[in-house]
Amino acid sequence: MTLPTLTFTVLAMLAFAGNSLLCRAALSQTSIDAASFTSLRLVAGAITLLLLTRGPAARRLAHGNWPSALALFAYAAGFSFAYVSLSTATGALLLFASVQTTMLCVALWRGERLRALQWCGLGLAMSGVVVLLLPGLEQPAPLGSALMIGAGIGWGVYSLRGQRAGDPIAVNAGNFARASLVAAVLSLALWPSTRFDWVGASYALASGALASGLGYAIWYRALPALSASAAAGVQLSVPVIAALGGVLLLGETASPRLLIAAISVIAGLGLLLFVRRQRSS
């Protein structure tokens, strides 16, 4: 893995972890509703990315496509609505399990084969996620579980489609703009249950502009140099980074279990990426 690819990957994972922290804080600590959060998040992402592109507005909006936009909306909306009924730990476990399952299934369908050490690396990383999240597991609500699994599939599909997307900033701008239109329709449909909160809105705007919009643009820069299996595996670091951020920024309690989980995930990802590099050399 080259230094630029490594840099883009690390920055993207930090952005995704920051997104999780912002979503968690908004939906659990403020009164904003899930539909409003989703709409504000997608609109902020679209505006930020459009500002980073050049040319007439019509030409900038011509990039992207509806299938990718719908996958993006499925992730953003499913993520928000699932956390209405799921605990953070249960939701994160369902999300990242479905993300990596989606991307690995596509990798195998495309003919990619993993070595035994790569399977061990993925298993070790996944075990670390389970160790991290297991203490908060509870019997999940069926609807919330389905929504979070759908969000994970949407994230996986959107990431995979990004491997052939062309200009990442322009494509993401078009996709976010299209997804914003779908989110606006959802918000209008749920208008009677709208609950606006200024703090929650600020979290949504930061989530969309910084962690989502810029995060996906950076992620698209890294994806062409990653195999589908590596892209799936590296995202397993996000819940660990988010947990560390919770300790540092949200005052959550650190524990030996957190350290063990972090070491397991980092070691597993290192094994996965090292073996792939050896195969390509």
pLDDT for 105-120, tens place per residue?
887 788 877 788 888 8
For the record, the structure tokens of 186 come out as 């959802």
Portion of the chain with pLDDT greater than 70, in percent: 87
Q: Could you tell me which residues come within 8 angstroms of residue 233 by beta carbon, excluding any fewer than 6 positions away?
A: 100, 121, 122, 125, 268, 269, 272, 273
How distant, in Å, are the alpha carbons of 26, 42, 178, 215 from that of 204? Answer: 7, 9, 18, 14
- Tell me which amino acid residue 175 is: N
User: What pLDDT is stored for residue 163 in this prediction?
Assistant: 67
User: What pLDDT is stored for residue 108 in this prediction?
Assistant: 76
Torsion 225-228-233-236 (CA) sign: positive
Q: Which alpha helices (DSSP H) does the chain contain, by range?
A: 3-29, 34-52, 57-61, 66-82, 88-109, 116-133, 142-161, 168-189, 198-206, 215-222, 228-234, 237-249, 256-280
d(Cα 257, Cα 95) in Å, to the nearest integer? Answer: 21
User: What pLDDT is stored for residue 217 in this prediction?
Assistant: 79
Q: What pTM was computed for the model?
A: 0.81
User: What pLDDT is stored for residue 44 in this prediction?
Assistant: 96
